[in-house]
Structure 1
Amino acid sequence: MNDLFTLYNLKVEVVATGKSFVCSHKAGSYFLVKGENIIFPEDNAFSLYALSALLPLLPAKQRALHGNDWMLSDSLIACPDPNCGAQFKITRTETKEFSHAETTVVPISEGVNQ
């Protein structure tokens, strides 16, 4: 049985909006999401508070979405500090296939229709 599924890798980058940054963000700072891993390039800091706001969105952005789903079109996320002008751009990069059996111990048949 083919148990493969595909996820997008992501790049999450700090972008300037013209409004001052209040937090420690630096335009151009970024991290990558590859499978279940978050990769921070060397000497590239990223705010813990901004990361906590972004984390719930990342698994959805990794998956194939219906063409009308807002999650597909909305890629700029505001800093959680309402006084900060930073935004975070989530960009899909390449895709990667994963094996169900290599990512969980629960068989496919047990997880269907739940």
Structure 2
Amino acid sequence: MSDDDFELYDLRVELVRSGPGQIYCGNEGDWFELHGEVLKLPPGQGFSIYSLSAVLPLLPAKQRVTDANDWMSTDAEVACPDPNCPSRLRITRIGKRRFSHAATTAVPLPTKPQE
């Protein structure tokens, strides 16, 4: 581990049914994974941009280590943005991945003060 390493969780977002009725934003079981900043879909499957817009703002926070008492650690489902759709988007942490600060940004880390 180098001085500029950090860890992020890989995430899986899956479309799950939360009640009766027709799902309008895709198919139950549709999913994608987020590895670092890369969104990965299985071959031949799409994902609703409206559903994606509902969950996207939460993903960077879900990727980071959080306190066990933080709601971000426990709350895992986001409602579909269509109020008539009985689906939720379930966010699951599926593993950790290590990154280097220098490999992810051109902004250098601040220099450490001399002791």
TM-score clears 0.5 = yes
Larger Rg: 2
The aligned length equals: 110
User: Residue by residue, what CA displacement relative to the aligned partner does 1:42-87 show, whole Å, maximum 9, x if unpaired?
Assistant: 1212111000111100000000001111011000111011111110
Q: Is the 8 A contact 1:19 1:84 kept in 2?
A: no
Q: Is the 8 A contact 1:12 1:88 kept in 2?
A: yes
Moved beyond 3 Å, runs of 4+: none
- Whether 1:28 and 2:23 are equivalent positions in the alignment is no
Structure 1 unaligned runs (5+)? none
Change (3 A) 1:8 1:71: same
TM-score normalized by the length of structure 2: 0.90
- Report the identity percentage: 47
Give the structure 2 partner of residue 67 of structure 1: 68
**In 1, Cα distance between the equivalents of 2:69 and 2:25?**
35
* TM-score, normalised with respect to structure 1: 0.91
CA RMSD of aligned residues (A): 1.3
> Matches of 2:108 and 2:46 in 1, distance apart?
39
Structure 2 unaligned regions, length at least 5: none
